[in-house]
Structure 1
């Protein structure tokens, strides 16, 4: 029997006076997800008797962090005049909850079987990744580019999901790939210290039969081609830069009901295991409570040897089939 008891809830405010006013949310903040949603990330730390957890130190550090990141201490509001959600930078603070857990047993990747959705997390060890890359390399095809590790990983995961869903060969399937636009915006006047979202969506639209039956290299190449951004004009100097057209992406949402969607978000390069709050880094991290079926994350492994984990949300009837295809395909030559 386990229980979690809340000891104290505190609203932590910035340590210094911060700017007031409203910041409107960009189209990138509003696309797909609602303004009141966020990605839950769990970080698990081993007990450290030499440096026990001190909530006061944590709250002090949080209050200092909220000075440069002052919008995070604000509140969301809706502006009825322009029809936009905005952040009211009022320094009301961020919620900090201090809890005690007794005999807490953690179970990763499981949930009630009566629930229509399942969120499996499957390990993707470095040897398996290298096997896939060798298989793709052996499938000779003339291209003027080299496929990345992510493109091979994403192609394999998408392929396994299409098989697990049991899709007909003529079914349209679309892959959304979350692209980090921050580096692309540097030369186009991104304000220094900007902390808003700059993630964009590259898309691949294919037939399920091509994804399931053709070699992995075919799918990986399609993902590579899907990364080719549209071009927009920089109004400041008249130059044209490669970048994803947000209006195009937003208009594409109307097409979602006609195809089966799968989305991949790679967090493989994020320093998830470097979150040291005074007692060392976490031993395990996990994406938790994925909201939508067909959404997935690739995250680095704690042993930092080039291995990964794939966490995704699927219907419970597809979960076991996905795992079977995911690992059987790795061990086969295709």
Structure 2
């Protein structure tokens, strides 16, 4: 009997976290990213300020930079998480707030849809400017097809990084897991580049980002592919040519599901990188953007369902582990 209170507390914690994930997802769908004072933007500014003190052209310096920033973010979130854990209402609110903060699905869709509207009006200059908000490649030389491809590839990869992965880590490790993932992902976006400055300093950030997104990317690719044989083939045969072990899978799944062709050569800071051809369909066209947005929403909804099911399964497992087995029955 002594184990029941512990088991009940654990199950209440998991229930609160599951509800918080669902509410936070709903807030992202309703509001998108906060317009001002976004915590992730503040974290990025702090990381940039620290980089001016920690930068050196070495892997060790980059590892220290990442360890300090990710460790402090995780520790801060863990302290708060433990403080609110005794109150299911407080834990639900805290988890919902963190979930809303780290998710970027609605805002990403807005950016992609804005690119499509500019292209529909034949305003290529505006489309190039808009797509620069969500890609790091050079947009100046892109034609309409190139802008479309860039936007869909970014939509696919960031659906995995900014929606699927946070929800997965939220289901596994609660708010601290989501905060740590977002910290790693932000650092990868800042320093995880293969160029003269970050080749060594950013290596740990890039590799760590690959690790924490490995499983979410495969879940996202599975959800995006659905029952499409073309999508499954693209993931299986084409994704290996992509330089990212995670981005290639989700982009290939989007290409196959939409019946289009993604990938190819991209220019980054004057350097050209061949990302392989993903899918065997026709080139992407502006009208495909709306279909890509709908596919991204399907992946997001599917991920939420998987995350909530995982939380429920963990709660059920906790019940089995902590509830005592019934004693022997006596007949008389």
Give the TM bin, normalised by the shorter chain: under 0.3
User: Which of the two has greater helix per residue?
Assistant: 2
User: Which of the two has greater strand per residue?
Assistant: 1
TM-score (ref. length: structure 1): 0.24
